[in-house]
């Protein structure tokens, strides 16, 4: 009787490309990149069976740029650290957006998300704060778990959203066109909300629960945002306050012209 030998297939390891500023050896950027990889990203990826890959750790010979782009496109997952708005990071992230494959954004707590990706869920953290690091790991695991459970082949990105809307708008189906117009309106409102939040952050105003403190005036956040969207108030770029402009179009506080 023939003995049947068991053939154990090694499960193919999934890959995750780390898009981040790397810097030179012994530089602060390199230290941050290493700490981020060793203490936040790698432990989370290991739990879900992903192998981390970073540009400076690619050992194959050849053009490094083409290898990086290939990993950005082909990796099962990409994690982008938007620290200090590094242009290479945003370039690689944009390429990843085109692929419509899963990605996760990380950013330092003291930074503001750029307008184009302001509505993308991003894990904000302070790498110098141990509690913040632990929270970042917790959120990162949740993100990865969600990606693993989601069986859909494509994800929505800022680029894919524009392409999808264009397709719907060019459709001859009136319902699809109406839906596209509605989505454009929602995206526009969402962008306005992000602009408000960024202005508030840049002016170092603070949120307190469900209320907003603006120059000592305690106002419900929902009311401030609603009045702004409806055009009842405007944001003065000079003094940074939400105001109702005067008949001549000026800010009643600083008297500067509101555009």
List, for residues 50-89, the tens digit of each pLDDT value.
Answer: 999 999 888 665 566 888 999 999 999 999 999 999 999 9
Shortest CA distance to 125 belongs to which of 135, 114, 115, 117? 135
Strand pairing category for 50-54 and 14-19: parallel
CA torsion angle 201 206 211 214 (round to 10):
-80
The answer to which of 201-215, 222-236, 241-255 has the lowest mean pLDDT is: 201-215
Q: Which of 108, 109, 107, 75 is nearest to 92 (CA)?
A: 75
Q: Is residue 233 predicted with pLDDT exceeding 90?
A: no
CATH number of 14-155: 3.40.50.450
The structure tokens listed for 170 are 């060019």
Closest of 73, 66, 60 to residue 15, by C-alpha: 73
30 in Cβ contact with 24 (< 8 Å): yes
Of the two residues 117 and 169, the one the predictor is more confident about is: 117
The domain ranges of the chain are: 14-155, 156-202, 203-259
**Ranges assigned E (strand) in 90-171:** 103-108, 122-125
């Amino acid at each position: 009787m023939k003995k049947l030998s068991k053939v154990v297939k090694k499960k193919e390891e999934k890959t995750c490309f780390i898009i981040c500023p790397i810097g030179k050896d012994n530089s602060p950027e390199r230290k941050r990149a290493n700490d981020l990889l060793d203490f936040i990203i790698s432990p989370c990826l290991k739990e879900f069976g992903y192998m981390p890959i970073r540009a400076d750790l690619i050992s194959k010979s050849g053009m490094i740029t083409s290898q990086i782009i290939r990993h950005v496109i082909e990796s099962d997952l990409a994690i982008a650290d938007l620290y200090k708005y590094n242009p290479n990071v945003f370039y690689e992230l944009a390429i990843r957006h085109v692929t419509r494959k899963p990605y996760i954004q990380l950013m330092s707590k003291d930074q503001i998300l750029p307008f184009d990706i302001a509505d993308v869920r991003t894990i904000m953290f302070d790498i110098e704060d141990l509690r913040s690091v632990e929270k970042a790991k917790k959120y990162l695991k949740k993100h990865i778990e969600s990606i693993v459970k989601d069986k859909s082949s494509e994800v929505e990105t800022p680029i894919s959203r524009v392409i999808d809307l264009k397709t719907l708008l060019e459709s001859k189906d009136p319902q699809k066109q109406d839906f596209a117009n509605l989505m454009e309106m929602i995206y526009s409102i969402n962008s306005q909300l992000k602009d408000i939040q960024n202005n508030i952050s840049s002016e170092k105003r603070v949120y307190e629960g469900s209320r907003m403190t603006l120059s000592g005036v305690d106002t419900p956040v929902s009311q401030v945002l609603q009045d702004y969207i409806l055009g009842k108030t405007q944001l003065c770029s000079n003094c940074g306050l939400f105001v109702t402009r005067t008949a001549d179009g000026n800010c009643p506080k600083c008297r500067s012209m509101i555009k």
